[in-house]
């Protein structure tokens, strides 16, 4: 009897320890917008200037921390890869958006969903993936328990209604769903109507996932990469005409509403204080008319190395841990989310590969007054175009728009982002005495460039289109 009591007591202790451990791990809701520029919502100077107020997102900014210098990669696939792996896309063979060829993350990559799942998290993804469309490379092959959304880009919603579309040549795009380690099934055709409705469906499914996780007393990672505001920028029928200021403003109203739905769900589930809620964008604004957006005071759109491509909105709330109403210009990069989430979950980072991301927990929680990052390399596709460091940007190659010719200046162009946010006046060429006073920046940045290049030599990048299984060092 005594042995039974001792065993029973030990079992209770283990169970209580397990419950306490789960409660210590914060839930994470990661909302990622598609091609929403820095200057779109009210907290970043947009909102009513773009035809629609954004009260829920503005309130989120007031309740948490607002980054003015959060940075991403220059295209959809690279940004999403960097988010999932904590590695610059140049390392992972995920450097650009492609069509008609094998692409995406190899199974060798260890995603943040895999790390969190291995540490007791329920993991659900609801939205756009864009990191592989073959078995073995879907979200539920890469650490997610469930997925509902689209494998590729929202461009595809225009295919089936396109001029002389031929389904014998190009497959009809579908919204898909799957569960862990099972191939996806097709839910319905992804056409323009489905495009207008999908973000509503993603929201509903994300909320149901959170409810199930709370009921099961499991910490959860809800990854919600919405399809808005990527072209075609079409509002849900409930929001069509809502503002009287056109389709784009109607979509902005919907974007704010969806964020509010998720925030309300977190509150209603009683997990507000133990949930890290992030709302961000993975690329700069659309360039293509009439779906084009704005990057606020910065110049450029996605597919460039300009600030308008790199800086995107980023809001984070964690009540009691992150000081409300904080706003700053410290540099953070999308790769930093990987080690930051890993630390919050108590997960160890992979030790057999380069992780470019830096742990920002101390900065977020106020233990440190500064970001641990002061710069990063800038690629557009496979092309190394520049390096951003502190308040400077050094361009080795430049292009003004997605479709413009890449210039190869004989001398790198250096810009002071505080005095020249639109990167129009090369300090060295136009600066006079100011230019001379900033020459010291060149060797400082070049040292960092050489360190980055050395890291690529020590760990050769995975080539774009590499099939599985991938083994480092073997081609």
Same domain? For 59 and 120 the reply is: yes
The domain boundary, picked from 374, 390, 413, lies at: 374
Residue recorded with tokens 């909105």:
313
Q: Give the separation between CA 305 and CA 376, rounded to whole angstroms.
A: 12
What Å distances lie between residue 176 and 129, 144, 147, 159, 340, CA to CA? 11, 14, 8, 16, 30
Tell me the average pLDDT of the chain: 93
pTM of the predicted structure, to 2 decimals: 0.94
Question: Has residue 190 got a pLDDT over 60?
Answer: yes
Asked whether residue 1 is assigned to any structural domain, the reply reads no
pLDDT at 373: 98
Same domain? For 361 and 450 the reply is: no
Question: Has residue 225 got a pLDDT over 60?
Answer: yes
Q: Give the separation between CA 203 and CA 209, rounded to whole angstroms.
A: 10
Which own/partner pairs from 457-464 qualify as long-range (CB within 8 Å, at least 24 positions apart)?
A: 459/91, 459/353, 459/354, 461/90, 461/91, 461/92, 461/93, 462/91, 462/92, 462/93, 462/106, 462/108, 463/93, 464/93, 464/94, 464/95, 464/96, 464/98, 464/103, 464/382
Contact residues for 288 (Cβ-Cβ < 8 A; gap 6+): 231
Number of compact structural domains in the chain: 2
Residue 465, SS3 per DSSP? coil
Q: Give the separation between CA 425 and CA 423, rounded to whole angstroms.
A: 6
Question: Has residue 300 got a pLDDT over 80?
Answer: yes
Same domain? For 288 and 437 the reply is: no
Same domain? For 297 and 387 the reply is: no
Asked whether residue 14 is assigned to any structural domain, the reply reads no
Parent domain of 330? 25-374
Asked whether residue 184 is assigned to any structural domain, the reply reads yes
Same domain? For 46 and 163 the reply is: yes
Same domain? For 418 and 276 the reply is: no
Same domain? For 368 and 391 the reply is: no
Question: Is residue 468 very low, low, confident or very high in pLDDT (cuts 50, 70, 90)?
Answer: very high
Which structure tokens are listed for 363?
């900065």
Residue recorded with tokens 């769900």:
265
Asked whether residue 13 is assigned to any structural domain, the reply reads no
Q: Which residue has the higher pLDDT, 332 or 440?
A: 332
Phi/psi zone of residue 35: left (φ > 0), alpha (ψ -120 to 50 degrees), beta? left
CATH code of the domain covering residue 428: 3.30.1120.10
Could you tell me if 389 and 446 are in contact, meaning their C-beta atoms sit under 8 angstroms apart?
no
Which structure tokens are listed for 104?
């995406």
Question: How far from the centroid of its chain's Cα atoms is residue 349's Cα?
Answer: 19
Question: Is residue 446 very low, low, confident or very high in pLDDT (cuts 50, 70, 90)?
Answer: very high
Same domain? For 117 and 242 the reply is: yes
Same domain? For 213 and 85 the reply is: yes
**What are the tens digits of pLDDT across the range 315-325?**
999 999 999 99
Torsion of CA 241, 246, 247, 251, to 10 degrees: -80
pLDDT at 411: 85
When pLDDT is averaged across residues 375-380 and rounded to a whole number, the result is 97
Question: Has residue 210 got a pLDDT over 70?
Answer: yes
**What are the tens digits of pLDDT across the range 390-407?**
999 999 998 888 888 777
Question: Has residue 17 got a pLDDT over 50?
Answer: no
Question: Has residue 3 got a pLDDT over 80?
Answer: no
Could you tell me if 262 and 29 are in contact, meaning their C-beta atoms sit under 8 angstroms apart?
yes
Asked whether residue 272 is assigned to any structural domain, the reply reads yes
Q: Give the separation between CA 10 and CA 16, rounded to whole angstroms.
A: 10
The domain boundary, picked from 374, 403, 422, lies at: 374
What Å distances lie between residue 117 and 33, 65, 123, 346, 347, CA to CA? 23, 27, 6, 11, 10
Beta strands 65-67; 326-328: pairing state: parallel
Provide the percentage of residues in the chain whose pLDDT is more than 90. Answer: 87
CATH code of the domain covering residue 119: 3.40.720.10
Question: Has residue 12 got a pLDDT over 70?
Answer: no
Least confident of 68-77, 167-176, 281-290, 436-445: 436-445
Same domain? For 311 and 396 the reply is: no
Question: Is residue 11 very low, low, confident or very high in pLDDT (cuts 50, 70, 90)?
Answer: very low
Asked whether residue 474 is assigned to any structural domain, the reply reads no
What Å distances lie between residue 180 and 117, 148, 452, CA to CA? 11, 12, 36
Output the CA torsion sign for 205, 193, 294, 50: negative
Question: Has residue 4 got a pLDDT over 90?
Answer: no
pLDDT at 434: 61
Asked whether residue 113 is assigned to any structural domain, the reply reads yes
**What are the tens digits of pLDDT across the range 253-290?**
999 999 999 999 999 999 999 999 999 999 999 998 88
Contact residues for 163 (Cβ-Cβ < 8 A; gap 6+): none
Q: Give the separation between CA 317 and CA 9, rounded to whole angstroms.
A: 39
Beta strands 27-33; 275-281: pairing state: parallel
When pLDDT is averaged across residues 111-123 and rounded to a whole number, the result is 98
When pLDDT is averaged across residues 463-468 and rounded to a whole number, the result is 96
Same domain? For 454 and 436 the reply is: yes
The domain boundary, picked from 334, 358, 374, lies at: 374
Asked whether residue 7 is assigned to any structural domain, the reply reads no
Helix (H) or strand (E) holding 376: strand 375-380
Q: Give the separation between CA 47 and CA 42, rounded to whole angstroms.
A: 4
Same domain? For 400 and 440 the reply is: yes
pLDDT at 16: 41
């Amino acid at each position: 009897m005594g042995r039974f009591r001792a065993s029973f007591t030990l079992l209770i202790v283990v169970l209580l320890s397990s419950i306490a451990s789960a409660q210590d791990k914060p839930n994470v809701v990661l909302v990622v917008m598609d091609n929403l520029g820095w200057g779109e919502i009210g907290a970043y100077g947009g909102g009513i200037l773009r035809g629609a107020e954004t009260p829920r997102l503005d309130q989120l900014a007031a309740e948490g921390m607002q980054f003015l210098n959060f940075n991403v990669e220059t295209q959809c696939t690279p940004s999403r890869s960097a988010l999932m792996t904590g590695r610059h896309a140049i390392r992972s063979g995920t450097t650009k958006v492609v069509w008609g060829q094998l692409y995406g993350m190899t199974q060798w990559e260890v995603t943040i969903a895999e790390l969190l799942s291995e540490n007791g998290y329920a993991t659900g993804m609801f939205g756009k993936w864009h990191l592989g469309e073959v078995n073995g490379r879907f979200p539920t092959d890469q650490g997610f328990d469930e997925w509902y959304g689209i494998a590729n880009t929202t461009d595809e919603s225009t295919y089936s209604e396109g001029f002389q579309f031929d389904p014998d040549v190009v497959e009809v795009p579908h919204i898909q769903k799957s569960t862990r380690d099972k191939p996806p099934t097709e839910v319905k055709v992804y056409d323009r109507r489905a495009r207008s409705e999908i973000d509503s469906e993603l929201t509903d499914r994300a909320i149901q996932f959170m409810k199930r996780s709370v009921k099961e007393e499991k910490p959860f990672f809800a990854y919600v990469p919405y399809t808005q505001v990527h072209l075609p920028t079409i509002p849900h029928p409930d929001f069509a005409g809502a503002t009287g200021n056109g389709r784009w403003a109607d979509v902005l109203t919907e974007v704010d509403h969806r964020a509010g739905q998720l925030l309300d769900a977190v509150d209603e589930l009683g997990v507000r204080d133990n949930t890290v809620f992030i709302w961000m964008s993975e690329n700069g604004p659309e360039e293509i008319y009439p779906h084009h957006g704005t990057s606020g005071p910065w110049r450029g759109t996605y597919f460039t190395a300009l600030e308008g491509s790199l800086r995107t909105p980023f809001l984070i709330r964690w009540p009691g841990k992150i000081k409300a109403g904080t706003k700053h210009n410290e540099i953070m990069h999308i790769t930093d989310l990987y080690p930051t989430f890993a630390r919050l979950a108590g997960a160890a980072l992979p030790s057999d590969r380069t992780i470019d991301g830096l742990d920002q927990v101390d900065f977020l929680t106020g233990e440190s007054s500064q970001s641990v990052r002061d710069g990063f390399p800038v690629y557009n596709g496979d092309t190394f175009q520049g390096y951003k460091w502190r308040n400077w940007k050094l361009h080795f190659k430049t292009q003004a728009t997605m479709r413009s010719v890449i210039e190869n200046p004989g001398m790198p162009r250096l810009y002071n982002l505080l005095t020249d946010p639109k990167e129009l006046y090369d300090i060295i060429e136009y600066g006079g005495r100011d230019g001379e006073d900033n020459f010291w920046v060149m060797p400082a940045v070049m040292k960092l460039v050489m360190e980055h290049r050395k890291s690529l030599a020590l760990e050769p990048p995975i080539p774009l289109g590499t099939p599985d299984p991938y083994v480092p060092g073997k081609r």
